[in-house]
Amino acid sequence: MMAKTGLMFLAERKHYLAVLVALALSALTGCCGHRVVGFEKYGERISSVNYLCVRELGSTGLTAALGVPPERGEDLERDKVALAEAQAAAPLGSTAREQAEAEEHLTPLAFDGVIGPRFRLEVLPGTSNLLQRAFDDTWVAAHQAKKLHFRQRPDPALKNSSFPSVHAAEGEVLGEILADLLPDHTKEVVQKGRAIGDHRLILNKHYPSDVEAGRRVGVWVLQEMRRSGDFKRDFAAAAKELHNTVGTYRGR
């Protein structure tokens, strides 16, 4: 074989160095990789997150935000009393119960029309993209949180953990993102997001402390997502789109 020339040796050395640098950078940033394992949502497999750092899904930050479910004493009794009151206030045929049932398989479309007829996600692709990606990340994070504590659901026929409420986390995140995008409509979108969590009591799916834990997880998720360059890019695109269509975006 032909002996390597000095130039060939240097070129090869640079190549190896470049590979080593790439590996080192990957090791440093790999904690923020996007691949996740073992999640299915409504029959569709989720294999990655969009804005979250995968490492954070197992972090003490998520654990601290979640807290622990009440197991006995006054807190548990208050949970049971509040659950019964919520169900008594929303009997079959009531608007609140109908809304709760409509939100069972929740999507960002639940916010359609909340701020008026011009707010329709099917004609707002940039906003829809942002909300859907954030919604999916919240779903993964909240289900990861469910693995930390098992709590029997109010309806014992449901076998997965009641703590926290995934719907409450999703409602919190979507409501707060829309409040940032549309500060003139903060009240409407935040109330809608919180109502999504409250409606889980009506259907006997969660206790109030599950809902509050879900909201805390949502606050944590949004805090982590806001660090992402991809989130900032998609948020800017949605803000521009809403400014040109809905016309109420002022920025913050």
- Residue range 222-242, pLDDT digits in tens: 999 999 999 999 999 999 999
CB atoms within 10 A of CB 37: 9
Q: What is the pLDDT of residue 16?
A: 40
Asked, as a colleague might, if the bond just before 164 is cis with ω within 30 of 0, I would say yes
**Helix (H, G, I), strand (E, B), or coil: what is residue 42?**
coil
Q: Which domains does the chain have, with CATH numbers?
A: 54-245 (1.20.144.10)
Measured distance CA(131)–CA(108) in Å, rounded: 6
pTM (two decimals): 0.83
- 35-41 vs 44-48, strand pairing mode: antiparallel
Measured distance CA(120)–CA(53) in Å, rounded: 30
> Which residues of the chain are modeled with pLDDT < 50?
1-4, 6-12, 14-31, 249-252
Q: What is the pLDDT of residue 54?
A: 85
Cα 187 to Cα 157, 182, 192, 200, 233, distances in angstroms: 36, 10, 9, 21, 25
Measured distance CA(95)–CA(153) in Å, rounded: 24
